[in-house]
Amino acid sequence: MGKKQEIAIGIALQTQVLKTCPIHNQLYRDDEAPADDENMARAFGVAIELVHRYKPYAEEFNHDAHQLTDLLSQTLGAAPVSCPDCLAQRYSVKEQSGKRASAGP
């Protein structure tokens, strides 16, 4: 993972646009959160502020906040809507209960 990507993910986590599964440590987007758009706007605000105000970020992104906001939206677009491992687990549980139901008493 590149440093720029790390910064983008850091912002996303800080503004809670991206979350980390506590069980599998996987990044995902929480689409069910009602304040999602608000968080997203906040994430872009933080990104722009970092590049404008702080030298290390400015240097990393060549004083161009758009580079960071673009990367941020790419990162968000690439993230799954829920933890893929949790989803896989949920499906396998469903399958098992289905088999049990069809076996019947």
Site residues (vs Zn ion, CB under 5 A) = 21, 23-24, 83, 85-86
Give min distance, CB of 82 to Zn ion, in A.
8
Give min distance, CB of 13 to Zn ion, in A.
15
Q: Which is nearer to Zn ion, 27 or 51 (CB)?
A: 27
CA distance linking residue 46 with residue 40, whole number of Å: 10
Structure tokens, 36: 């999602």
CA distance linking residue 37 with residue 35, whole number of Å: 6
Q: Which is nearer to Zn ion, 36 or 84 (CB)?
A: 84
Give min distance, CB of 93 to Zn ion, in A.
13
- Identify the three-state secondary structure at position 19: strand
Alpha carbons within 13 angstroms on the beta-carbon side of residue 32 total 5
Q: Which is nearer to Zn ion, 21 or 76 (CB)?
A: 21
